[in-house]
A and B are shown apart, each in its own frame.
Chain A
Amino acid sequence: MPTRPELEAMLTRLWSEKLNITPVGVEDNFFALGGDSLLAADLLMDVYEQFGIEVDAAVLFLKPTIAELVDEVLAA
């Protein structure tokens, strides 16, 4: 299982790729950065494919920061 800093780095890279922007901070809001619901769904599917973890989709859709997402992945 990756550590929190590793997860944060991986997710930051994933978000940058999806949103096509840098830098991305761990407290930034996915939708405020220009993300939309379709991209959010893509991103969670990527997390599933890379980490084998099904994150409860409500986390990204309703609390859309990397910090929250990392909490969720670590809890899973």
Chain B
Amino acid sequence: MSSPPGDHICPRGGTGLADPALYDVGDPHAVWRALRRRDPVGWHPVDDRSGFWAVTRYADVRAVLTDHAGFTSTGGVMLSMIGRPEPARDQQFAASDPPRHGLIRGPLQRQMTGRAVARHAPAIRSFVREMLRPAGGDLDFAELTSTLPLAFLKPLMGIRAADWPDLARWVSMSVAEHDRDVMLPDGPSATLDRGHRELFAYLLNLLFEHRRQPRGDLVDLLGAMPLRPGAVVANCYSVLLGGAAAIPHVPRVALAELIRLGRYEEWARHPQRIDRVVEEALRFATPAGHFMRLATRDTSVGGVPVAAGEPVVVWLGSANRDEAVFADADTLHPDRHPNRHLAFGDGRHYCLGSAMARMTLRIFFEELFATFSSFEPTGEPERVRSAWLHGIKRMPVVGRRR
């Protein structure tokens, strides 16, 4: 970093944007705001040997995400992969570049369009109603929303409700390895390895099951592709992790802000622009906080020279608060329009599950607004300690049913 913008708002002893503590006890938005203004493409050391370019402005983030020739996904796409080899490169579509990327993603994509996912709407709505049915009075809104991914992971992958507590923990270990709730005594790196291996083992068993009894879902589709078994499992892993990790944080972060502003009732009374509510909640929360690429050649980002091989990390949560694009960017506006946020990324890697996530969130907000007339906080929300997953893990509230 050329200048140390916003050092005072980083937690003590922190190492800047890569420090997971920034996202649970610090103020990442203040840090991002300062970086956007003074150091929009800045070098951030991680340790003596490594570092990354942090890209915080909307326009620069888009430029990186849409330039697949200049910035590769094959070196891993999360900061936790810096300095680790990516064994799934060129085999998992999330860790591949075009054209290879499209060969694997294409067939999945056809099952994940708006029209294709709409057939799951009735099942998702009854799942969400069941989720909300017993809730009322004193509750932890984070716990209440923790099973939301199951609404679609069941039909998409054949995942059983009984497996969810384990899966949710392994997913957390894989994306929030520094969080006290899941970190193993051996530390973050061991936590990451363990979570990852547990998920791989689970998914390989799931693949065996699908071979015995096909369900016509995404696992079967991947299993039938000309891929080695390890690659099939690695792609199942992408879908599971993408699907499971981020989505519950969208309603949590949005509701926490509505409660803070005292505007839940107003939002809940006017649910006719529910699509805009969903987009604004996505923009405001941006739970998948960053993605990484490696420069393929000497190039530049926002006029700053970047050398071949260097990691470039785009901060989606920052891009989505860029005042150059979003007026009054730090305010949650239910009616914001247009709202071209980057919560699902951009370019060829644009979230495979975006249509499913949007539909599920729409149904969730509709049911939430129809079920609860008001919420009051009974404690401070507790955020997740992770440089990647930005969200809330505990949120004590009192909810009043209509």
Q: Which residues of A come within 8 Å of B, CB atoms?
A: 31, 36-42, 44-45, 48, 54, 56-58, 60-62
Q: Return the chain A residue nearest B231 by Cβ.
A: A38
Q: Would B233 and A54 count as touching, CB distance under 8 A? A: no
Q: Would A57 and B200 count as touching, CB distance under 8 A? A: yes
Q: Would B198 and A41 count as touching, CB distance under 8 A? A: no
B191 interface contact, C-beta 8 A? no
Q: Would B230 and A42 count as touching, CB distance under 8 A? A: yes
Beyond A36-B87, A41-B233, A58-B202, 19 extra complex contacts between A and B, CB < 8 Å: A31-B193, A38-B228, A38-B230, A38-B231, A39-B230, A41-B204, A41-B230, A41-B232, A42-B228, A44-B204, A45-B229, A56-B205, A57-B201, A57-B205, A58-B198, A58-B205, A61-B198, A61-B204, A62-B201
Q: A38-B91, A38-B234, A48-B208 are in contact. Are A57 and B228 (CB under 8 A)?
A: no
- Contact for B201 among A36, A45, A54, A61, CB less than 8 A: A61
Contacts of A61 in B (CB 8 A): 197-198, 200-201, 204
Main secondary structure of the interface of B (DSSP, over half): helix
Total interface residues in chain B, CB < 8 Å: 22
Q: Would A40 and B198 count as touching, CB distance under 8 A? A: no
Q: Which residues of B come within 8 Å of A, CB atoms?
A: 85, 87-88, 91, 193-194, 196-198, 200-202, 204-205, 208, 228-234
Contacts of A62 in B (CB 8 A): 194, 197-198, 201
Q: A37-B234, A38-B230, A42-B228 are in contact. Are A57 and B87 (CB under 8 A)?
A: no
Q: Would A57 and B229 count as touching, CB distance under 8 A? A: no
List 23 A-B residue pairs with CB atoms under 8 Å apart, sorted by A's residue number.
A36-B85, A36-B87, A37-B87, A38-B87, A38-B230, A38-B233, A41-B204, A41-B229, A41-B234, A42-B228, A42-B229, A42-B230, A44-B229, A45-B204, A48-B208, A57-B200, A57-B202, A57-B205, A58-B201, A58-B205, A61-B198, A61-B200, A62-B194
